Amino acid sequence: MDLTRYIADVADFPQPGILFRDVSPLLADAVAFGAAVHALGAAAADLEADLVAGIEARGFIFGAALATRLGRGFLPVRKRGKLPGEVHRASYALEYGEDVLELRAGIVPAGARVLLVDDVLATGGTLDAARRLAQAAGLVAVGAAVLVELEALGGRARLGTSLPVRSVLRY
């Protein structure tokens, strides 16, 4: 299935000069969404994770669906102030700003192997922050799976070889 047919290009969003790759049409189509989750699972099959960590917001959607498909638990990686209790924090730069991610402390045992999932890999800042959060929580980030990789923005290079990245679509 050609999943690129379900990715909409939105110019100048969220600010002028940014070309946003919108996965909403893909999510709205049950067959395309299922194919995307299947493709993510196939791409990351060799990474042997105990848990899937989805990054807010669209990474939640793909991550939770993938966790269910793989029979794994799901960890939400949230934006600042959305989780109760003790949290680990990591700030990061986006291609158009800055933000903070949090991961709840102490809900899974140290040493658990985690697959990081997001919809898009752009500059790599979000996935790098998620990796740092996993490490701070005593977890092992075994890799990352993304639906779309924007190669020109160099996110894979920023992540280096210590975090294997699996992408389904590359632009």
| pLDDT one-digit tens code per residue, 156-168 | 999 988 899 999 9
Taking CA atoms, 98 is separated from 43, 51, 54, 79, 134, in Å, by 29, 27, 19, 11, 19
Q: How many CB atoms lie within 10 A of CB 25?
A: 13
Taking CA atoms, 121 is separated from 20, 54, 85, 107, 151, in Å, by 12, 13, 29, 27, 8
Residues serving a catalytic function are: 58, 95
Query: What residues make up the domain containing 117?
Result: 3-170
For the chain, percent of residues with pLDDT exceeding 70: 99
| Banded pLDDT at 83 (limits 50, 70, 90) | very high
User: Domain containing 74 — which CATH number?
Assistant: 3.40.50.2020
DSSP state of 17: T
- Provide the number of structural domains found in the chain: 1
| Banded pLDDT at 95 (limits 50, 70, 90) | low
